[in-house]
Structure 1
């Protein structure tokens, strides 16, 4: 283990994170809620300077979103609009939003609104998960993706705008952890529990069927919950606790509690792990993308593989053991509901204790979409160290 180098402020920040009680309160439109203007899109991870810096899957998602918004008549026109500098790109986490993989958030999309029951002014958001098949988060630009966006945000999301009751997410997460979810790559148990709480019988048949069958239903609401929890450390504003984490397909970045809003970024590496059976094993994988890295920075996902032996079995046992040791070394406060340590202390990270992220692997060229899954490490350079970031 590493030496205990955290400051009292970092420990206090972690304890404040553990004190948050996230509830899914509502589903709300992004534009009026966030003040998004026409042509303004939110993406995962650190800032992207120019359209030329967009990785192919993220560029495809931007174009599909522009067509969905009616700002371009087709994907080619959307790409021309982007190239002409008519689109403003902003990191989603800087506006209190967590967006998965290559998905972007535009003004007509709807968001989970997750509120801290202990501090109602603390709110975080995430877009609704589109389910399997053609999806924006996989970095595909096709008419099917646009059609899926229109159904999710035109039919499903408004139907969830008035929840019968606020849904406490921590009890669902704790039960799912006990039954084999690590709450990032595996959320099937949590998704079933959440679907039951949504009373799908009150919805139209298509929406109800979607909710019951959706094995990743919980994921996006949980991303918002993790961001909500970490926001307590952001509000505290002291210490080395990691309060933001994500990749944009080129770089991976974090923020610390003592410097909220200041991204520290380094070149990202792709997740290493199994390839889907119908995909070529030599296919180039996109470097880490998505704000779901927040889940692992909290202390779950790759940092909680011991809770999900079925998923851990996909990886080298030595790698799984190393991640468990890392979690023990870098996480600070025991969570009263989850029963695990949470709160990543950046000052405790070493070359042999690099935090990991469980995530899906996308085709680097944005043609095939989802190609597999794996684990990626935080780049060592984020913590002032040399390293290849692939462990």
Structure 2
């Protein structure tokens, strides 16, 4: 890596993500009622929005009381009366097809290391009918009302939760912190339930949620990446995600502006039940893998590694060639250098669930997706152009 990327990586390695607060998107990021946030890069036009995100947007608008029916809600999006914008442009990361609306509660994750970096993610809905699966139904809307009417407010005063220690312990027990988060979720739930008194509807929900760690961990990874953002010439990946049509990247040296994006294939791997058409890669959880966990840490998750077969071996072999530096706490390589891809390195992988392309059946499988190589070429070119233009280095707030 070049000197600029090394400076970005140094800042990233000093970050210590901590879930500090919980609040609504309206309160925390000033989201207005006519804007919804989605995963990945921007859509070129409302007509490009994939069916699962359109379904999730409709469910969110029903939850917000802005429409009386699904078709009315979809029409608000198609007409542009309600705007969809990339969540990561607001420091938010959202899973799969889930959108974020004004009244939804967010995890607030801050860098306790002093960089000032802060990221957000919506609360995890647990299993069953869920917005992130890209389906719209009365059950999905009712789950949103439970989550954001009861669970979110209950977590508002939960106090800070250190996430790095949970993540490290979970990896020692077989989680790679993306496709498998069962151990981490159990550890986090134990902490939350104890702080909430151990009984009641919210505690019951948390005990059944199963993957509750995933969303705050997404925000944690995003906050760590943001700690290394804003260094001219740096090719450290600080944003990554798919929108079900295109996959996008942003690098530290892009100074927080623009996306490099390209069409992307669907995740490939085992089906759930009968094989059905899969949506191209979707979700901001790709930031987990961009930091060096998930697909680039499958060596820590033997069960998932075996399930994914030869593709997992390819992903594991890619880690040392793509990642920048040893993490002082996790003891493994982290930080994705886009220049390494251009210099003949492997294509970076992402561990993802696969959604039904038509938005009718939710999750239809799981597997690995791969960054489009052209994203890295476009992003590095944007960094080099900005560096030549003489953009000032973003201040390191630890100084």
Q: Is the 8 A contact 2:249 2:376 kept in 1?
A: no
Q: Aligned equivalents of 2:117 and 2:124: distance in 1? A: 22
SS across alignment from 2:253: coil
Q: 1:307 aligns with which of 300, 306, 331?
A: 300
Match of 1:265 among 261, 273, 276: 261
Distance 2:169 2:300 in 1: 11
Q: The residue matched to 1:162 in structure 2 has which SS?
A: coil
**1:161 matched residue in structure 2:** 156
Measure, in 2, the Cα distance between the counterparts of 1:159 and 1:357. 33
Determine the structure 1 residue equivalent to 2:221: 226
Distance, in Å, in 2 between the alignment partners of 1:238 and 1:220 is 30
Matching residue within 125, 129, 134 for 1:130: 125
Q: Is the 8 A contact 1:159 1:203 kept in 2?
A: no
From 36, 40, 54, the equivalent of 1:45 is 40
- The corresponding residue for 1:336 is 328
Find the aligned partners of 1:359 and 1:64 in 2 and give their Cα distance: 23
Aligned to 1:188: 182
- TM-score between both structures, scaled by the size of structure 2: 0.91
User: Are the counterparts in 2 of residues 30 and 110 from structure 1 also a CA contact under 8 Å?
Assistant: yes
**Superposed displacement of residue 238, structure 1:** 4.1
Seen in structure 2, the aligned counterparts of structure 1 residues 30 and 237 have a Cα distance that, compared at 3 Å, is farther
Map residues 282-321 of structure 1 onto 2, 5 A cutoff: 283-317=276-310, 319-321=311-313
SS at match of 1:175: helix
User: Residues 98-247 of structure 1: matches in 2 within 5 Å?
Assistant: 98-119=93-114, 121-163=116-158, 165-200=159-194, 201-202=196-197, 205-247=200-242
Aligned pairs for 1:339-358 within 5 A: 339-350=331-342, 353-358=346-351
| Structure 1 position 21 matched with structure 2 position 9 | no
> Helix, strand or coil: the match of 1:85?
coil
**Equivalent-residue separation in structure 2 for 1:130 and 1:242 (angstroms):** 28
How has the CA–CA distance of structure 1 residues 146 and 242 changed in structure 2, closer, same or farther, with 3 Å as cutoff? same
Q: Give the match for residue 372 of structure 2.
A: 379
Q: Moved runs in structure 1, 4+ residues, more than 6 A?
A: none
The answer for unaligned runs of 5 or more in structure 1 is 1-5, 386-391
Instruction: Write the distance in 1 (CA, Å) between the matches of 2:10 and 2:36.
Output: 33
SS at match of 1:273: coil
Deviations 1:85-139 (A, max 9, x none): 2011110001000000000000000000001112273211000000111100000
Change (3 A) 1:203 1:112: farther
Which secondary structure state, in structure 2, belongs to the residue aligned with residue 131 of structure 1? coil
Distance 1:203 1:106, change over 3 A: farther
Q: Which residue does the alignment assign to 2:385?
A: none
Tell whether 2:274 aligns with 1:280: yes
Question: Does the residue aligned with 1:199 lie in a helix, a strand or coil?
Answer: helix
How far 1:204 sits from its partner (Å)?
5.3
CA contact (8 A) 2:349 2:368 kept: yes
Q: How far is 1:364 from its partner?
A: 0.3
Give the TM-score of the pair, scaled to structure 1.
0.93
Partner of 1:324: 316
Matches within 5 A, 1:27-66: 27-66=22-61
What is the rounded CA distance, in whole Å, between the counterparts of 1:296 and 1:242 in structure 2?
10
1:254 matched to 2:249? The reply is yes
| C-alpha deviation, 1:145, in angstroms | 0.5
Q: Given the alignment of the two structures, is residue 8 of structure 1 paired with residue 3 of structure 2, yes or no?
A: yes
Offset at residue 14 of structure 1 (A): 1.5
Cα deviation for residue 322 of structure 1 reads: 2.1
Structure 2: 5+ residue stretches without partners: 379-399
Q: Deviations over 1:179-223 (max 9, x none)?
A: 100000100000011011113452652211121222211000000
